[in-house]
Amino acid sequence: MKFGQSVCILNVGGTRYAFPMEVLKDFPLRRVSRLHSCASEREVLEVCDDYDKERNEFFFDRHAEAFGFLMLYAKHGKLRLVPRMCELSFYNEMIYWGLESSHLEMCCQRRLDDRMSGTCTHFTEEERRVENKDDQKEQKKRRRRGSGRVKDAKWLESMRRTFEEPTSSVAAQILASVSVLFVIVSMVLLCASTLPDWKTAESNMVEEHRNTESIDHPSGIIEAVCIGWFTAECIVRFLVSRDKCKFVRRPLNIIDLLAITPYYISVTMTVLTGENSQLQRAGVTLRVLRMMRIFWVIKLARHFLGLQTLGLTLRRCYREMVMLLVFICVAMAIFGALAQLLEHGLDQNSSNEEYASIPAACWWVIISMTTVGYGDMYPITVPGRVLGGLCVVSGIVLLALPITFIYHSFVQCYHELKFRTARCTRSLSTEFLN
């Protein structure tokens, strides 16, 4: 900050807090840290409600007790709900100061999730004005600097948001729709190419035009167009990304690369060997590579809230997922060994050959614990059937325990992403009207 004193005062609902100006730079509350980058009193008033230049005091007309709990989070790193205060009201305070529900302790997150499950939460008009003011602030700051380099950075940032954030603008939404259309066409073409009638028609066309100069099957042209679009999109997103190394390490970008590469490998082998592409696809390796195009379905996660929620939930609940796998593995080891002993090991004359080994019995355990029950193998002895009943009941109990935590995390992630999408949609509506 280029004006005022070395010590600033935050006045939140009548409660004052004094800080050195340097502390504001990396303050955990995003709204407070924005004060450090303000270059004029006008920009300060876009962040706070009022400003006293003589005392270097910033006024915020917000809930004082809620801000006190947020200050405890800034000091100790733990955030809890305020007693005797509505969970949704405190959550609105958190959003105003730049925090999300993921910053809450787990017990408080569950309380907030339960309240959100039966309540429709709306953002206040103040928060809507804040979102618009943030965008205006960035635009004014870049216009004020006014150099060619800043203009280039602004253009790159606009391109990045267009390709990375489908709800950031009208152009981004149109681009996302086109990308989804290409994904659907590519998936339909891939599925249809495995049909017997499709293969027969394709082979007949290749045989019919064997002596012609260059007549390709229409499916190959469509496939080339789709791959071309995906390649161009991936290259542009790489060029406009802020951190190239971080871009390459992102899981979705790795999946994009794995889905694009097989096509170019197939084309390269066609050019180098001179063999027909249909004969190449008969190879096991190329068929596996070509089938990797199915990973394009994961690309839809950028455009659909449900897939984003699933991915975020799996990332946050990896401990619960590991716990679930441990439960299953322990149960498989115990019930598999007992099933093999009761069905095959005790009586060699009337043994059940389906349970000849513990790995084979583990297959029966996993389909029994998940209550799938294919019926391909089942116990025939009385002790084995009793063990099967215990296996099914224990499977229901063991699988239900970690799933409860995963469910709560899923609800939380869904509400977070839904609110983010709502804010972006409001910004998109404003842009469209303007």
Residue 355 and residue 361 in contact, taking contact as beta carbons nearer than 8 Å: yes
Stretch 429-434: mean pLDDT, rounded?
Answer: 45
Q: Which residues contact 426 (CB under 8 A, 6 or more apart)?
A: 128, 131
Among 303, 331, 346, identify where a domain stops. Answer: 303
Mean pLDDT of 247-254: 81
Q: Looking at per-residue confidence, does 136 or 239 come out higher?
A: 239
Segment 67-83 shows an average pLDDT of 84
**127 found inside a domain:** yes
**How far is the C-alpha of 321 from the C-alpha of 317, rounded, in Å?**
6
pLDDT, tens digit (0-9, with 9 covering 90-100), for 349-371: 667 888 888 888 999 999 999 88
Please list the residues that pair with 50 across neighbouring strands.
Answer: 59
Asked if residue 150 belongs to a domain, the reply is: no
Q: Report if residue 148 sits inside a domain.
A: no
Do residues 190 and 295 both lie within one domain?
Answer: yes
Of 391, 404, 257, the C-alpha closest to 328 is: 391
Say yes or no to pLDDT of 390 above 90: yes
Would you place residue 122 in the very low, low, confident or very high pLDDT band (cuts 50, 70, 90)?
very low
CATH code for the domain in which residue 340 is found: 1.10.287.70
Q: Average per-residue pLDDT in the chain?
A: 75
Q: Please indicate, yes or no, whether residues 234 and 291 belong to a single structural domain of this protein.
A: yes
Predicted TM-score of the model (pTM): 0.49
Lowest mean pLDDT among 76-85, 203-212, 331-340, 398-407: 203-212
Q: How many residues does the chain have?
A: 434
Residue 29 is predicted with a pLDDT of: 85
Q: Which of these three, 280, 303, 326, is where a domain ends?
A: 303
Q: Which helix (H) or strand (E) holds 7?
A: strand 7-12
Inform me whether the pLDDT recorded for 393 exceeds 80.
Answer: yes
Distance CA 216, CA 209 (A): 9
- Compute φ and ψ for 57, nearest 5 degrees: -115, 130
CB 25 within 8 A of CB 38: no
User: Is 192 found in the same domain as 277?
Assistant: yes
Question: Residue 409: what pLDDT?
Answer: 82
Q: Which residues contact 210 (CB under 8 A, 6 or more apart)?
A: none
Q: Are residues 281 and 177 in the same domain?
A: yes
**Between these two residues, 218 and 58, which has the higher pLDDT value?**
58
Give the domain CATH number at 174.
1.20.120.350
Residues 6+ apart with CB under 8 A from 266: 277, 280, 281, 286, 289, 290
Check whether residue 86 and residue 174 sit in a common domain: no
Q: Report helix, strand or coil for 421.
A: helix
Same domain for 27 and 116?
Answer: yes
153-157, 331-335, 386-390, 428-432: segment of lowest average pLDDT: 428-432
Alpha helix segments (H runs only) across 8-52: 30-33, 41-47
110 located within any domain: yes
Structural domain total, the chain: 3
**pLDDT level of residue 161 (50, 70, 90 thresholds):** confident
Q: Are 165 and 172 in contact (CB under 8 A)?
A: yes
Q: Is residue 209 part of a domain?
A: yes
Whole-angstrom distance, CA of residue 416 vs CA of residue 116? 11
91 and 207 share one domain: no
112 inside domain: yes
Residue 386 scores a pLDDT above 90 = yes
H-run or E-run covering 217: none
- Beta 50-52 vs 15-20: how paired, if at all? unpaired
| SS3 state of residue 315 | helix
Please check whether residue 420 lies inside any domain of the structure. Answer: yes
Q: Which of 104, 138, 172 is the last residue of a domain?
A: 138
Tokens 């229901």 belong to: 396
Judge if 113 and 220 occupy the same domain: no
- For residue 124, what is the domain's CATH number? 3.30.710.10
Q: What is the signed CA dihedral for 259, 263, 265, 268, rounded to 10 degrees?
A: -160
CB-based burial, 158-176: b 16+ in 10 Å, e otherwise = ebbbbbeebbbbeebbeeb
Instruction: Please tell me whether residues 253 and 342 are part of one structural domain.
Output: no
Tell me the per-residue pLDDT of 126-139, one tens digit each, with 9 for 90 and over. Answer: 444 554 555 555 55
Same domain, 207 and 278: yes
Shared-domain flag, residues 389 and 268:
no
15 and 121 within one domain: yes
Domain span at residue 30? 7-138
Using the predicted structure, report yes or no on whether residue 284 has a pLDDT greater than 70.
no
Mean pLDDT for the stretch of residues 6-26: 83
Region of poorest pLDDT, from 173-182, 261-270, 358-367 = 261-270
Percentage, residues of the chain above pLDDT 90: 6
